[in-house]
Structure 1
Amino acid sequence: MVLSMDKWVGKVAVVTGASSGIGAAIVEELVEHGVKVIGLARRVELVEELANKLSNQKGELHALKVDISNTQEIVNVFKTIEEKFGAVHILVNNAGILLKSSLLDGDVEKWRKTFDTNVLGACTATKEAISIMRKHDVDGYVINMNSTLGHKIPPISFNVYPASKFAITALTETLKFELGTLNKKIRVTSISPGLVETEIFKTENFTLPGMSEMPIMVPRDIADTVIFVLSTPQHVQVEELIVNPTGTMM
C-alpha cells in the first residue's frame, strides 16, 4: 500500500472545532500538505491567527465563524463554502464538548448542548458536506473524531459525553452503509483517541483522579492519524482507528 497526500493537494477540507487542540493541529498538518482548509469555529479570531501563522505553507487556511450546535448556522456556512470555494472533498467532524455534570443530578441544558454539538452538529455537517460531494461527484472523505469513550466506559463519570461518542460510533457505521447503497466513492472513518492534552478538560475545570500521572498524547499525535487515513489509496477504507498513549490503563 502506497501512502500519499498528493491527491488532496489544492482540494478543499472543512474542519470543525478548528480554533484549538486537535482541530488546530489537524488544520496545520493539512495546510502543510497543500490542502485548502476551511476552519470552522465559534472563536474565529483564533483560526484567523492560525491562518496568518500558516501563510507561508503549501496550502491555505480560511476561517469562518459557526456555532456547530446551531443547525441553521451549519447549513448557511456550507452554502457559503460551496459558493466561495466549490466542491468539498474532506470533512473532519472534530468539534466536541465535555461539560461538567452528572446523570444523577445533572443539568439538562448541559446534556442538550452536548448532544447538539457532538451528535447533531456532526450529523448536520456530514449531511451538508456529502450533499456537496455528491453534487460535484468527488471521491470525498468524512472523518469523525470519536473517542475511546465511544467504545468502552471506564469507572469514572463523564455523564452524557460517552453516550454522545457511542452515537458517533453508530452513526459512522450507518453512514458507511448508506454510502455503500449509493455506490459512492466517499469514504468514512472514525478516529477514537484516548487521553489527549487539550482544552476540553480545562473548559470547566474537569479533572480525572490521578490524571497528572496518566500517559497522555498531544494534539499533533491525532493529527498524524488523520494524515495517515487520508494518505491511504482509494480502494482502502480505514473504518475505525483507536489511538491510545503507550501504557494507558483506560
Structure 2
Amino acid sequence: MERWFGKTVIVTGASSGIGAALSLRLANHGLKVVGLARRAHLIDDLALTVTGKGSIISRQCDISKPKEIEAIFQWVEQKFGGPEILVNNAGFLKTGNITDLGNNALSEDAIISTLDINLKGMIMCTRHAISSMKKRHFNGHIININSIAGHYMPFEPSFNVYPSSKHAVTAFTLALNNELAEFKSQIKVASISPGLVHTEMVNDYKGDCPILKPEEVADAIIYVLSTPPNVNISELVIEPTSGRRL
C-alpha cells in the first residue's frame, strides 16, 4: 500500500458496513479518505477512531442524484486535486416482490432506488473519477463493490431486482475494462463480489448460513489495491468457508 500513502480516495456508502470498515483501514494506511453518505455524522464518528497517519473527511451525498455527485467531485478536486482511488460501495436492498402476485410487492420508489444507487450512481461516480485521473495523467484504481448475486440468481425471491442491478455491475466492470484497454489506459478496475456480509442490508436475515464480516471484505480490497501497477484483479469473489448460496 506504500504507493497510495497520502493519496486521496473517495468511498461511497462510508457510514456503515463495508464502507466504514474500509474507510478506517485506508486511513490507517495513510490515505486521505473522503467518505460519502447521506448520514455524514456517522462518518464523523468513525473519523475519531483513526489511529494511522491518514484521515477521514465526511461529505453528505445522495449518489442517486447526479448533481450531488458532480458537486462532490468538484469539491474533491478543489480541496485535494482529485481522487486517486474510487470505491463504489454504496448499495441498496429492500426485500419484497417485483410484482403484486403475492402480498409483499415493492413500491416503485424502492425499485427505482435499487437501480439508481446500485448502478446509476456507480456509473456516474466512475465517469467523474476517470475524467479527473485523465486530466492529471494518474493511473488510479476503481473498485466496484458487487455481490455473488451479480453472478447467479438467488432462489430467494424477496431479493427482487437487487440481483439484476448487480449483474449489471458485473457487465459494467467488464465493459469499462474493455474500454480502458481499447484506449491503452493504465487505470485499473476491479469488481469485488462478496457473499452475505453482516451489514444493515441483511439485518433481517434469519438463516443459518455463515456470514462475512465487513472487515474481512475490507482486507480483501486492501489486497487488490496492493497489487503492482502491471497487475489488475478484475474480479474477486469472497465467500465464507462452508458458505451456502441462497
Q: Could you say which TM-score interval applies, normalised by the shorter chain? A: over 0.9
TM superposition shift of 1:100? 2.2
- Determine which of 54, 57, 63 is the counterpart of 2:58: 63
Normalising by the residue count of structure 2, what TM-score does the alignment of the two structures yield?
A: 0.95
- Determine which of 232, 236, 244 is the counterpart of 2:239: 244
Q: Write out per-residue CA displacement over residues 194-232 of structure 1, whole angstroms, 9 at most, x where no aligned residue.
A: 011111123xxx43xx51x21111000000011000000
TM superposition shift of 1:180? 1.1
Rounded to whole Å, the distance in 1 between the matches of 2:60 and 2:227 is: 31
TM superposition shift of 1:101? 2.1
Given that 2:73 and 2:82 are in contact with CA atoms closer than 8 Å, whether structure 1 keeps it comes out as no
- In structure 2, the residue matched to 1:137 is 137
Given that 1:42 and 1:67 are in contact with CA atoms closer than 8 Å, whether structure 2 keeps it comes out as yes
* Sequence identity (%): 45
Q: Does 1:52 align with 2:52?
A: no
Q: Does 1:151 align with 2:147?
A: no
Normalising by the residue count of structure 1, what TM-score does the alignment of the two structures yield?
A: 0.93
- In structure 1, the residue matched to 2:68 is 73
Given that 1:215 and 1:247 are in contact with CA atoms closer than 8 Å, whether structure 2 keeps it comes out as yes
SS at match of 2:185: coil
**4+ residue runs over 6 A deviation:** none
Given that 1:101 and 1:110 are in contact with CA atoms closer than 8 Å, whether structure 2 keeps it comes out as no
SS at match of 2:202: coil
- In structure 1, the residue matched to 2:185 is 184
- In structure 2, the residue matched to 1:87 is 82
- In structure 2, the residue matched to 1:174 is 175
- The one-letter amino acid paired with 1:126 is T
SS at match of 2:179: helix
Q: Write out per-residue CA displacement over residues 99-147 of structure 1, whole angstroms, 9 at most, x where no aligned residue.
A: 1221122322211111011000000000011110101110100000000
Number of residue-to-residue matches in the alignment: 239
Q: Write out per-residue CA displacement over residues 153-204 of structure 1, whole angstroms, 9 at most, x where no aligned residue.
A: 12111000000000000000011011111211100000000011111123xx
Structure 1 runs not aligned, ≥5 long: none
Structure 2 runs not aligned, ≥5 long: none
- In structure 2, the residue matched to 1:39 is 35
Rounded to whole Å, the distance in 2 between the matches of 1:87 and 1:167 is: 27
SS at match of 2:57: strand
Given that 2:27 and 2:33 are in contact with CA atoms closer than 8 Å, whether structure 1 keeps it comes out as yes
Q: Does 1:14 align with 2:27?
A: no
- Determine which of 220, 223, 229 is the counterpart of 1:225: 220
SS at match of 1:53: coil
